[in-house]
Amino acid sequence: MDQIQKVEQEILELRQKLREKEDELYALKLNYHSSQSAQAHNGDESQITEETTIKQWTLPKWAIERYSRQILLREIGVAGQARICAAKVLIVGAGGLGCPAAMYLAGAGVGEIGIVDYDTVEISNIHRQLLHREIDTDVNKAESAARAIRSINSHIKVTPYKVQLDSTNAIQIASKYDVVLDCTDNAPTRYLLSDLCVLAKLPLISGSALKLEGQLTVYCYRADLHSVDKSSTYRGPCYRCVFSVPPSPDALGSCSQHGVAPPVPGVIGTLQATEALKFIIGHPSRNLLVERMLIMDVDDMSCKVVQLRPRNPMCAICSDTPTITQLIDYEVFCKTQAKEKELDLKILPPMNRITAVELQTLLLSKSTLLLDVRSAAEFDMCNIDGADNWPIDYVDRRLEELLKKTEENDGAVVFICRRGNDSQIAAKMLLDKLPEAHRHKVKDMEGGLHAWAKYVDKDFPVY
Ligand SMILES: [Zn+2]
């Protein structure tokens, strides 16, 4: 064991040195490439330029060699590649969607890529967020992703933003870019990005992936800002045109709650990069997923494109007479938090809550009933000895049975879940119907299994 720890420590130190050297090399290369471009600008004509009057594009030798396989495409050509090299794309979220999107945009040579993410890499992310490595655990995701894509292409500029995008910083960050990719997974950020793109006049390429399903569409398209459709006044819908009212917080799902098959965000993120590249090289709106949504289900490999509503002439933000003219507080608007990790419900009185250590003591009594309200799949992954699995949707359907069980039980009836939120909801459903005399028996374990792993059983898996 000592020998294993010693070698692991040596590897950590070597990797840290490797990172420092990679950063040094990236800075040197970036410096070298920009000095080459400056020389080209002053002397020969090998830099990437667009003569606005005669539309004569040129590419330097390195770019022709590097991007030749895509330049060969009639749809890209030299002009398209020059546009890609001059483009600036902002990726919001360096997770399952953001990782593949960033990889392909970097590979294709997008000149500047910004990556926004406040979160840090966890071991449970790596099965689908393939820019991050085990060694990046606890490192900020924007930083980890930026480092990885710099190693794919040192000719591009990559800027990590280690912040939570919100109403105070979004316009300042996004205004430096030409296209925004929504690679997030929560309603407040979806509305924020859509409103931001309406106000900043940027197209928004929106992806989502959950369980076995993926979706992709383009919001906030404006023909007047697009190189091909410029003469038209056509504008595609924004997110609010399609979803004017936020979904109820209960209807929202996340990958950490419901799970996701790793290739689904891989495919959708890759297609987000494809739509971004198509926009950049000048594909017209009819060829982009504007007013249309691609829906993919890998369960039976079905894939369809459905028509979305057109722009709503009465939309609160993108109509000609908007009622919203600046960014608002989207967590208040959606009645949910943008940071899932900080969700900490407090809906039960103190008498109905116990700590992990108190539960450990209660479990010494045979009359304690422990009800785990997670899904069956989660329960099968790991559970506390003696717990019964009562998935939260069963609690609602079998409430009568549970009321009887509680009234007949002499000891405590303790609810538990992963983080201590669903267990409170389940306990409250029971408490609302339970006669006063039995209410003291109902307990919720604060902090859920995460707290159990922290304070009682260090070997219990945390996911
Ligand atoms: Zn709208």
Shared domain for 189 and 210, answered yes or no, is yes
Pairing outcome for strands 179-182 and 157-161: unpaired
- Integer Cα distance of 220 and 285 in angstroms: 11
Instruction: Output the CA–CA distances (angstroms, integers) from residue 385 to 369, 377, 379, 382, in the order listed.
Output: 11, 16, 11, 9
- 68 within some domain: yes
How far, in Å, from the CA of 268 to the mean position of ligand 1?
23
Residues contacting residue 196 through CB under 8 Å, at least 6 positions apart: 170, 171, 174, 180, 202, 327
Stretch 63-78: mean pLDDT = 95
Any domain includes 25: no
pLDDT digits (tens, 9 = 90+) for 200-222: 999 999 999 999 999 999 999 99
109 and 233 fall within a common domain: yes
The domain total for the chain is 2
Mark which of 288, 323, 338 sits at the end of a domain.
Answer: 338
Give residue 369's pLDDT band: very low, low, confident or very high (50, 70, 90): very high
Both 290 and 367 in a single domain? no
Q: Is residue 43 part of a domain?
A: no
The residues placing their C-beta within 5 Å of ligand 1, an ion, are 238, 240-241, 315, 318
381 and 407, same domain (yes or no): yes
pLDDT range class, residue 31, cuts 50, 70, 90: confident
> Containing domain of residue 424, as a range?
344-455
The secondary element (H helix, E strand) that includes residue 419 is: none
Report pLDDT for 45: 43
- Whether 55 shows a pLDDT value over 70: the answer reads no
Shared domain for 65 and 189, answered yes or no, is yes
Q: How far is the CA of 310 from the centre of ligand 1 (A)?
A: 9
pLDDT at 49: 53
Catalytic residue numbers read: 255, 417
CATH of the domain at 374: 3.40.250.10
Query: Is the backbone of residue 170 left (phi > 0), alpha (psi -120 to 50) or beta?
Result: alpha
Contact 51, 78 (CB under 8 A): no
- Of the candidates 315, 338, 361, which is a domain's last residue? 338
29 in any annotated domain: no
Would you say residue 47 has pLDDT above 60?
A: no
Q: Are residues 230 and 137 in the same domain?
A: yes
Distance 232 CA to ligand 1 centre (A): 18
Asked if residue 256 and residue 153 are part of one domain, the reply reads: yes
223 CA from centroid of ligand 1 (Å): 15
Q: Angle 71-72-76 (CA atoms, 0-180°, nearest 5)?
A: 50
Q: Is residue 45, in this structure, part of any structural domain at all?
A: no
Same domain, 364 and 287: no
- Of the two residues 347 and 107, the one the predictor is more confident about is 107
In this structure, the answer to whether residues 78 and 199 fall within a common structural domain is: yes
Token couple for 434:
């339970």
Task: State which of 300, 317, 338 marks the end of a domain.
Answer: 338
**pLDDT recorded at residue 56:** 62
Same domain, residue pair 331 and 353: no
- 114-140 per-position pLDDT tens digit: 999 999 999 999 999 999 998 899 999
- Does 351 lie in the same domain as 330? no
Is residue 107 within 8 A of residue 274, CB to CB? The reply is no
In 259-349, where does DSSP find H-type helix? 263-281, 330-334
Ligand 1 centre to CA of 314 (Å) is 8
Distances (CA, A) of 131 to 121, 256, 328: 10, 19, 32
Residue 51 lies in a domain: no
CATH of the domain at 81: 3.40.50.720
Q: Which residues of 302-331 are buried (b: 16+ CB within 10 A; e: fewer)?
A: eeeeeebeebbeebbbbbeebebeebeebb
Q: How far is the CA of 209 from the centre of ligand 1 (A)?
A: 23
Distance 219 CA to ligand 1 centre (A): 9
Q: pLDDT tier at 340 (50, 70, 90 boundaries)?
A: low
Residue 53: pLDDT band (50, 70, 90) is very low
| % pLDDT > 90, the chain | 74
pLDDT in tens, 402-435: 999 999 999 999 999 999 988 999 999 999 999 9
pLDDT band at 364 (very low <50, low <70, confident <90, very high): very high
Compute the distance between CA of residue 145 and CA of residue 160 in angstroms, rounded to an integer.
8
Kindly state the helix (H) or strand (E) to which residue 381 belongs, with its residue range: helix 376-381
47 in a structural domain: no
Task: Give the DSSP H or E segment for 311.
Answer: none
Tell me, yes or no, whether 328 and 348 share the same domain: no
In a domain, 49, yes or no: no
- CA pair distance 204, 54, nearest whole angstrom: 30
